[in-house]
Amino acid sequence: MLLPESIQTLVNALERLPGIGPKSASRLAFFFLRASEDVAQDLSVALANLKANTAFCQECFNITDAGRERCEICESPKRENSLICVVEEALDVLALERTAGFHGKYHVLQGVLSPIEGIGPDDLKIKQLITRVARGGIKEIILATNPSMEGDTTAIYLSQQLEPMGVKVTRLARGLPVGGDLEYADQNTLLRALSGRQEMS
């Protein structure tokens, strides 16, 4: 064994994280050794109670503090109740909140439909979304699943379920990313940008 056991254990634990290979893992482990004691301690404490301290919002299924039934966004009187943005994961809520351009509420599906991985409608929070809509008061549902095969499939499935309920269903626009280069855009993105072209003015 090349490394002392306590460091090897840490390297092994770090190697299990996504995007961290054997070399980064040992580099990180030695960083903790060199850094002040509290760098490792803070992380250790934060990890220890992570799951015990978090829960899912019973309204939108975003992540929230344990013991709370509804998340901050669902409880906020400042957010529009009639507008729901449907996303795949809690991380997507974070990305949308950073834009500061959405003032409605969210619904986190906690996944996407994926027949290959055996994930069907019952594995996602779709039933709960339909219950929310059935309660009334919702004017528009923005489908913000990823612009991928699975995201699109999920969006189509949801719109088929929601449109008959008399609610407006929209999907995030597709086109050239801001700051992007026409020359490097892939064929499908360019096609979408063309067909979705908008009037200047």
Using the minimum distance from each CB to its own copies, give the nearer residue, 94 or 134: 94
Backbone φ/ψ region at 166: left (φ over 0), alpha (ψ -120 to 50), beta? left
Using the minimum distance from each CB to its own copies, give the nearer residue, 97 or 117: 97
Q: What distances in angstroms separate CA 153 from CA 60, 160, 162, 163, one per listed residue?
A: 21, 11, 14, 16
Q: Shortest approach of its own copies to residue 43 CB, angstroms?
A: 4
| DSSP run (H or E) holding 86 | strand 83-87
In one-letter notation, the amino acid at residue 95 is: A
Using the minimum distance from each CB to its own copies, give the nearer residue, 10 or 133: 10
Closest CA to 85 of 76, 75, 77, 96: 96
Binding site for its own copies (CB under 8 A): 1-7, 9-10, 12-14, 16-19, 24, 26-28, 30-33, 37, 39-51, 53-54, 63-66, 71-72, 89-91, 93-94, 97-98
Using the minimum distance from each CB to its own copies, give the nearer residue, 9 or 131: 9
Q: Shortest approach of its own copies to residue 8 CB, angstroms?
A: 9
Q: Residue 63 phi/psi, 5° resolution?
A: -80, 145
Q: Shortest approach of its own copies to residue 63 CB, angstroms?
A: 6
